[in-house]
């Protein structure tokens, strides 16, 4: 069964159950894999590699937010200058590729154009099985680009393709996407504070 599996008579009851599932989703995240993802990103930023992020729908919004939270936030008060590109953000490019070639190629086409060995691709997909995300991950692994995958549900094909797979236990798109958004913030804020002094951290708002 999935959530919700019944009609709720009040928004309060729905909220309580939603938040419980969100707590369960957060608790399910493998902390060792999260540490591996943080290390992979910090090293990529330190050597001035580019992070490419992609996703569809709500996951596209998370991909776009990565640019702000990682490119802007992390370099504030640190020596890092992250290069972050959302493959979901360039609407003229995305629609041209989708219209002229295939929607399944909207991310991999851009990767072939810009990415180089040593860069990193981060895929955001609740199912982990969106064809355009899978094609991007396959190309990345074949071309020296490490892959971090955020997934939910059963993990899909990107779970098997990822260098680091961050899986969220959940069967509701909203819950999974909320947890993925949290991962985005956690990684950005952790990397930032790791490059700051204790005294400066106390003066700043995160």
User: From CA 43, how far away is CA 179, in angstroms rounded?
Assistant: 24
Other residues' Cβ atoms within 10 Å of the Cβ of residue 95: 12
31-203: CATH homologous superfamily?
Answer: Glucose-6-phosphate isomerase like protein; domain 1 (3.40.50.10490)
Say whether the peptide bond before residue 4 is cis (omega within 30 degrees of 0).
yes
DSSP 166: E
pLDDT of residue 168: 97
The percent helix, strand, coil of the chain (3-state, each to 5) is: 55, 10, 30
User: From CA 162, how far away is CA 85, in angstroms rounded?
Assistant: 19
Taking alpha carbons only, the member of 154, 155, 172, 173 closest to residue 164 is 155
Q: Where are the domains of the chain?
A: 31-203
**Three-state secondary-structure class, residue 129:** coil
pLDDT of residue 89: 97
C-beta of residue 152 within 8 angstroms of C-beta of residue 128: yes
DSSP 80: -
pLDDT tens, residue order, the chain (206 aa):
689 999 999 999 999 999 999 999 999 999 999 999 999 999 999 999 999 999 999 999 999 999 999 999 999 999 999 999 999 999 999 999 999 999 999 999 999 999 999 999 999 999 999 999 999 999 999 999 999 999 999 999 999 999 999 999 999 999 999 999 999 999 999 999 999 999 999 999 99
DSSP 70: I
């Amino acid at each position: 069964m999935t959530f919700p599996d019944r009609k709720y008579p009040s928004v309060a009851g729905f909220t309580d159950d939603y938040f419980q599932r969100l707590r369960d989703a957060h608790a399910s995240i493998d902390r060792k894999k999260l540490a591996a993802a943080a290390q992979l990103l910090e090293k990529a930023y330190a050597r001035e590699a580019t992070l490419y992020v992609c996703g569809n729908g709500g996951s596209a919004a998370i991909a776009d937010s990565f640019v702000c939270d990682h490119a802007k936030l992390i370099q504030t008060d640190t020596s890092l200058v992250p290069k972050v590109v959302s493959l979901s953000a360039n609407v003229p490019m995305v629609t041209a590729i989708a219209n002229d070639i295939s929607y399944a190629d909207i991310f991999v086409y851009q990767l072939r154009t810009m990415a180089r060995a040593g860069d990193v691709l981060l895929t955001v997909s609740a199912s982990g099985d969106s064809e355009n995300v899978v094609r991007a991950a396959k190309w990345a692994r074949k071309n020296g680009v490490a892959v971090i995958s955020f997934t939910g549900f059963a993990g899909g094909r990107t779970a098997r393709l990822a260098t680091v797979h961050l899986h969220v236990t959940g069967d509701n798109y909203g819950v999974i996407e909320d947890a993925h958004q949290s991962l985005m913030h956690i990684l950005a804020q952790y990397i930032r504070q790791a490059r700051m002094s204790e005294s400066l951290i106390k003066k700043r708002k995160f």
